[in-house]
Amino acid sequence: MARTLPQPAREAIEIVPVLQALADPVRLELVRELAKETEPRSCALGEYDLDITAPTLSHHWRVLREAGLTTTFVEGRTRWVELRREDVQARFPGLLDAVLA
Amino acid sequence: MARTLPQPAREAIEIVPVLQALADPVRLELVRELAKETEPRSCALGEYDLDITAPTLSHHWRVLREAGLTTTFVEGRTRWVELRREDVQARFPGLLDAVLA
DNA sequence: GATACACTTCGATCGTTGTCAAATGATCGA
DNA sequence: TCGATCATTTGACAACGATCGAAGTGTATC
């Protein structure tokens, strides 16, 4: 039912793409929003207080997912995003905590 | 005698420029080299095993310094770089450790 | 001084990236 | 099945950034 979009395996998560993904104000804000809750959140533009268009938000979700920071899964016509806390923590211990503090 | 190049004060170090500075393979390598020792190191191209020219290295040192990650000071005709461990640790605890591990 | 040295700055190039408008694709309800 | 309505993908563009060669700046040495 819920289809998960392609993402790197835990071992394939690399530091440079992760830092590149985090080094953007919009994406950093998105990651911080995701970190506030343990539940997955909707990808929808309306859910976030950002001054960007839908295609741009979609682009940022993709960058985060391809870097290995998030998981996206599709359910009907809504998409859910979730922070890959454990995977990132396993690869780069302390990184998320440091960035989110 | 030793003149220190302009750099942001500790409180002025921001997370996005720091992440941007670290999100480049060359600069990440430089930071890792600096982290190996507590002593300042020379800026000179010959000190590092990099396949870039002197102007490019100079550019990277500048980005690191302006982000607040390093201190550069001039002594005669050599320049010395040093990681701002304490300042970065104070602003973003655990970040350097996570990135350098 | 004149020269050599150690970088930096300048100017240009070229790939990357954040952004949007328009087109596409997918899902739900009638 | 057919629109209506979402978000995503595509295509295009402007801004940014990494890079280099050439020229500039300041320091030591002769």
For residue range B66-95, list pLDDT tens digits in order: 999 999 999 999 999 999 999 999 999 999
Give the CA diameter of chain A: 35
In the structure, what pLDDT confidence band is assigned to residue A2 with cuts at 50, 70 and 90?
confident
Substitution target from B13, B14, B15 for chain A, most A beta carbons within 10 A: B15
Distances in whole angstroms, Cα of residue A99 to Cα of each of A8, A22, B26: 21, 8, 21
At B81, give phi and psi (nearest 5°): -120, 145
Q: Which residues of B touch A64 (CB under 8 A)?
A: none
Chain C positions with any atom < 7 A from a protein CB: 5-11, 17-22, 25-28
In the structure, what pLDDT confidence band is assigned to residue B1 with cuts at 50, 70 and 90?
low
Q: Span A73-80, mean pLDDT?
A: 90
Q: Span A3-30, mean pLDDT?
A: 96
pLDDT given at position B82:
96
Burial classification of residue A29, based on how many CB atoms lie within 10 Å of its CB (0-12 exposed, 13-18 middle, 19 or more buried): middle
User: Residue A21's closest chain B neighbor by CA?
Assistant: B23
CA distance B35 to B96: 9
% of chain A at pLDDT higher than 90: 90
User: Are the C-beta atoms of A82 and A34 separated by less than 8 Å?
Assistant: yes
pLDDT given at position B101:
87
CA angle in degrees (0–180, nearest 5) for A87-A28-A89: 20
User: Residue A25's closest chain B neighbor by CA?
Assistant: B16
**CB pair distance less than 8 Å for B19 and A16:** no
Q: Is the CB of B77 under 7 A from strand D?
A: yes
Reported as a single tens digit per residue, the pLDDT across A59-70 is 999 999 999 999
User: Residue B94's closest chain A neighbor by CA?
Assistant: A98
Reported as a single tens digit per residue, the pLDDT across B41-70 is 999 999 999 999 999 999 999 999 999 999
CA distance A51 to A10: 32
Q: Are strands B41-42 and A78-83 parallel, antiparallel or unpaired?
A: unpaired
Is residue B14 within 8 angstroms of chain A, CB to CB? no
Q: Span A46-55, mean pLDDT?
A: 93
- Annotate chain A with DSSP letters as a single string: --EEPP---GGG--HHHHHHHHSSHHHHHHHHHHHT-SS-EE--GGGS--SS-HHHHHHHHHHHHHHTSEEEEEETTEEEEEE-HHHHHHHSTTHHHHHH-
**CB pair distance less than 8 Å for A94 and B94:** yes
User: Are the C-beta atoms of A97 and B95 separated by less than 8 Å?
Assistant: no
Q: Span A27-52, mean pLDDT?
A: 94
pLDDT given at position B58:
97
pLDDT given at position A1:
61
* pTM of the model as a whole: 0.94
Is residue A67 within 8 angstroms of chain B, CB to CB? no
**CB pair distance less than 8 Å for A28 and B22:** no
